[in-house]
Amino acid sequence: MIGREARLAGFAAVAVTTPDAIPLAPGRLRQFVADAFHGSMGWMADTLERRAAPRTLWPEVRSIIVLAMNYAPDDDPRAVLEQPDRGAISVYARNRDYHDVIKGRLKEIAGRIVARTGGDVKVFVDTAPVMEKPLAEAAGIGWQGKHTNLVSREFGSWLFLGSIFTTADIPPDAAEEDHCGSCRACLDACPTDAFPAPYRLDARRCISYLTIENKGPIPHEFRAAIGNRIYGCDDCLAACPWNKFAQEASEAKLIARDDLRAPPLAELLMLDEKAFRTFFSGSPVKRIGRDRFLRNVLISAGNSGDAALAGRCRALLDDASPLVRGAAVWALSRLIDRDEFAALADSKAERDLNVQAEWIAAHSQAASVPPLIALPGTSPRENGEKEDSRNIGAHLSPSFTGRR
């Protein structure tokens, strides 16, 4: 009955497990947080105990129904990486927010389960502290690959997960085995070496984390490796050989919008707050906000080698957001002539200390000397904290001019 209801609702797979079926998951999660691999995602530490075991989240749960929806693309998402003047958006974010698509359908199925079996139910998508991937493995939908994501023999790496907790007793399905073998394609594909070991992810090095969860400037050491990825990264997912069995998504709301497959950076650099919200209406991209998104686009512009983008990057030096201004400095340092960049620095009076540090670091890199982290007598602060206006060029000797 549950399988039929799930298929009618658009889910590709459904299976059942028990709340005590993932005994190793809590320890692995605690180690992940202890190693600080969660970066600035404080909510992972805050919800650690509730996330560690399903019964901690809801003591009355007796069965867990795990459902998966296929979102496989109709092409190789890495192809856009060969178009540096275009932005690469992760496959999952090229249309509607999957939370909105899945949650309503989970509620429909949950209602029918209650009507037929009795008991109580709770519905969860991945905004709740539920370890969906270990539960999906225990239920037999797939296994957690070396990239820590779920892999299915039928759908590859492209599955959204949701779960229904219920007080009803439902016979559980058999767990899936690991079929990765000696393959390490996903690990080798990572542009930033975010996997310290198979089955372990350091989110602080992951491009998805850096472009989505990270709220501050993107660390310098990762900027070039980001390339033209402006929201998330699919490299480890796309590299998995099991994707040869993947089937294209059939849910219309998850099929990529044409204008989000490879949007021109030149157009994205012109987005103000209203235009950003309109363009990404209904998309998960909207949740990071215009400023973080423009930060990502500017990093990609700096990596593009396209001098035609310099004018639009230059206009963002006067943006209201320090995060945007700082990224614009870095982009311009890679797109314009060293003398032009030095003259630009002479003309700017910047109040934000982090943006000042971006100007100085750009000059330092250009001159092949160790980058300074702040002006004399100052230290970088959180974005938005202000200092007296300073003329950037006036604090730099001639040796700190030029482009790499």
Backbone angles phi, psi at 295, to 5 degrees: -55, -50
Question: What are the DSSP calls for 152-210, one per residue?
Answer: BTTTBT-EEEEEEEESS--PPPPPPPP--TT--HHHHH-TT---SBTTB--GGG-HHII
User: How many Å is the maximal CA-CA distance in the chain?
Assistant: 78
pLDDT at residue 369, as a whole number: 35
Contacts of 337-342 with C-beta under 8 Å, sequence gap 24+, read 337/403, 338/366, 338/401, 338/402, 338/403, 339/401, 339/402, 341/366, 341/401, 341/402, 341/403, 342/393, 342/396, 342/401, 342/402
| CA 329 – CA 362 distance, rounded (Å) | 8
Quote helix, strand, coil % in the chain, to nearest 5: 45, 10, 40
CB crowding 322-361: b at 16 or more within 10 Å, else e: bbbbbbbbbbbbbbbeeeebbebbeebebebbbbbbbbbb
Return the half-sphere exposure (C-beta side, CA atoms, 13 A cut-off) of residue 81: 18
- Classify burial at 217, counting beta carbons within 10 Å of its beta carbon; exposed 0-12, middle 13-18, buried 19 or more: buried
Question: Residue 121: beta bridge partners?
Answer: 166
Do residues 280 and 217 touch, judged by C-beta distance below 8 A? no
pLDDT at 117: 80
Topology of domain 2-74+91-181, CATH: NADH Oxidase (3.40.109)
**Per-residue pLDDT, 374:** 36
Q: 3-class SS at 302?
A: helix
- Nearest-5° Cα angle at 163, 13 to 120: 125
pLDDT at 384: 43
Q: What is the pTM of this model?
A: 0.90
Domains of the chain, by residue range, sit at 2-74+91-181
Q: Is 337 assigned a catalytic role?
A: no
Strands 121-124 and 159-166: antiparallel
Query: What is the chain's pLDDT, residue by residue, as a tens digit (404 residues)?
Result: 788 889 999 999 999 999 999 999 999 999 999 999 999 999 999 999 999 889 999 999 999 999 999 999 999 999 999 999 999 999 999 999 999 999 999 999 999 888 888 889 999 998 789 999 999 999 999 999 999 999 999 999 999 999 999 999 999 999 999 999 999 999 999 999 999 999 999 999 999 999 999 999 999 999 999 999 999 999 999 999 999 999 999 899 999 999 999 999 999 999 999 999 999 999 999 999 999 999 999 999 999 999 999 999 999 999 999 999 999 999 999 999 999 999 999 899 999 999 999 999 997 775 543 333 333 333 344 444 444 444 454 434 332 223 22
**For position 366, what pLDDT does the model report?**
57
Q: Extract the tokens encoding 245.
A: 């069995």
Find tokens 């849910």 and name the residue.
251
Integer Cα distance of 36 and 45 in angstroms:
9
**Residue 329 confidence (pLDDT):** 98
Collapsing DSSP to helix, strand or coil, 245 comes out as: helix
* Options 20, 85, 97, 126, the catalytic residue: 126
Using CA atoms, how far apart are residues 77 and 79, in angstroms rounded to an integer?
6
Q: What are phi and psi of 389, to 5 degrees?
A: -60, 140
